[in-house]
Amino acid sequence: MPVSPIAPLSQMMAEYSDPSQCPVRNVLDQLGDKWSVLIISALAHRPYRFGELKREISDISQRMLTQTLRDLQADGLIERTVFPTTPPSVEYKLSPMGHSFLVPLSAMVDWAFEHFPAIREARQEFARAA
Amino acid sequence: MPVSPIAPLSQMMAEYSDPSQCPVRNVLDQLGDKWSVLIISALAHRPYRFGELKREISDISQRMLTQTLRDLQADGLIERTVFPTTPPSVEYKLSPMGHSFLVPLSAMVDWAFEHFPAIREARQEFARAA
DNA sequence: CTAGGTTGTCTCTTTTTGAGACTACGTGTA
DNA sequence: TACACGTAGTCTCAAAAAGAGACAACCTAG
């Protein structure tokens, strides 16, 4: 039962022969990143400060957290607010566009959750065959 | 208007403190990869042979194509069939599970396409501010 | 006056990716 | 006969990206 084929993307592959111009690749290269997904997921419930995020996503390096947050901010998915306390604290939260991204993202997450057992099984099967 | 929060994932972040055990990260680290997305998108319309894929996704290296195909096969998303012609040709096509992945994937693609203008604008704005 | 918490940056090492030559086989062409 | 071509890959080396951890600069609490 083939699902409705990814019409937009197939057009796009033909249309944007220069990969750097393709909207989908442009966007998903950034947002498909594993840290982006985790950060956006965390910010889905509530705003976080830098250090909170670092603790929540325990295995991210400070370097990648800084960098990914800045990229997401540049793309307009999150908003960064500095509070002039001492020490200054910085709050990150989803923008409206960031919120809208939760729709496709949660579809992905649901799929992953649902099919993880099958995938793990396939991996074991594949390892046996090799 | 906050969209229904990514309930599964937030549970998961708490539940699977060991990142390598988290189903979502496990799955999306592989499938969120840019080459995986492109390959799956290509295979969405029809089966492809190795060389065809390489031509279609013109900027992928043979090395990454080989590797990504093998990983997708290991995860059970694509099926690999060798035809004993001379020279032998190999056909790759989506498995049923691979097909089911098109649903969340196309949601992502649609979102990317829709919001690309806003993102590009945000990037320019951000660059100006910096 | 020292220790700790804040948001980052800088440097070094390791991992991942890209580029491109090479394999081995058969076919068509000169 | 010999030479290039197309098939699906592998192998090696260079370049890019990511991870680890020290450091900055500031204020507060003890």
Q: Look up residue B76 and give its two tokens.
A: 């059970």
Q: Decide if B2 and A99 are in contact by the 8 Å CB cutoff.
A: yes
Domain residue extents for chain A: 32-129
What pLDDT, on a 0 to 100 scale, did the predictor assign at position A95? 97
How does residue A3 score in pLDDT terms, banded at 50, 70 and 90? very low
Which of A4-8, A29-33, B5-9 tops mean pLDDT? A29-33
Among A12, A18, A106, A124, most B C-beta atoms within 10 A, so best to mutate, is: A106
E strands present in chain A:
48-49, 78-83, 89-94
Residues of chain B with pLDDT under 50: 1-5, 8
Contact yes or no for A28/A101 (Cβ under 8 A): no
Distance B44 CA to C7 C1' (A): 45
For the stretch A41-84, pLDDT in tens is 999 989 999 999 998 888 899 999 999 999 999 999 999 999 98
d(CA A108, nearest CA chain B) in Å: 5
Contact partners, residue A113, CB within 8 Å, separation at least 6: B8, B12, B23, B24
Contact partners, residue A48, CB within 8 Å, separation at least 6: A42, A56, A91, A92, A93
The CA–CA distances, whole Å, from A115 to B39, B40, B62 equal: 19, 16, 29
- The CATH-assigned architecture of domain B32-129 is Orthogonal Bundle (1.10)
Q: Decide if B74 and A3 are in contact by the 8 Å CB cutoff.
A: no
Higher pLDDT, B46 or A22: B46
Distance A70 CA to C7 C1' (A): 13
Among B30, B58, B71, B106, most A C-beta atoms within 10 A, so best to mutate, is: B106
Of the candidates B9, B77, B8, which has an alpha carbon nearest to the alpha carbon of residue B39? Answer: B77
The CA–CA distances, whole Å, from B31 to A16, A20, B40, B121 equal: 22, 20, 9, 28
How does residue A8 score in pLDDT terms, banded at 50, 70 and 90? very low
For the stretch B35-62, pLDDT in tens is 999 999 999 989 999 999 999 888 899 9
